[in-house]
Amino acid sequence: MSAKIINESNFNEVRSHEGISLIDFYADWCGPCRMVLPIVEEIASERADLLVAKVNVDDNPALAKEFKVYSIPTLVVMKNGEVVKQVSGARSKGQILELVSV
């Protein structure tokens, strides 16, 4: 399965998810975001136990503001709808998998 595209109108799906969610805040023009996106997609296809989502900050500024996304890419890990980790900058697959091991 690929990462779910999340926007302001369907974000409640992430908030109400029971378990671990990984959210990638990105922009199409962002070089480091383009490096992370294939890794996020790979994790989405390998880890059915995770809700993996991506949020385009240009299209969803209210979500970016709510999560205090000042730099992209920003990865947010939520557990049962609550933020447990948040990091900015490109990360390797191993680093991202470590983030979701909460």
CA distances from 72 to 1, 27, 33, 83, 100 (A): 24, 7, 7, 17, 18
Q: Is the pLDDT of residue 1 over 80?
A: no
Six token digits for residue 43: 């994790």
What is the pLDDT averaged over residues 79-89?
96
Q: Which domain holds residue 23?
A: 4-99
Residues belonging to the active site: 30, 33
H or E stretch at 65: helix 61-66
Amino acid identity at 64: A
Per-residue model confidence as pLDDT tens digits over 22-40: 999 999 999 999 999 999 9
Per-residue model confidence as pLDDT tens digits over 27-82: 999 999 999 999 999 999 999 999 999 999 999 999 999 999 999 999 999 999 99
What CATH number is attached to the domain comprising 86?
3.40.30.10
Cα 34 versus chain centre, distance: 13
pTM of the model: 0.94
* Overall domain count for the chain: 1
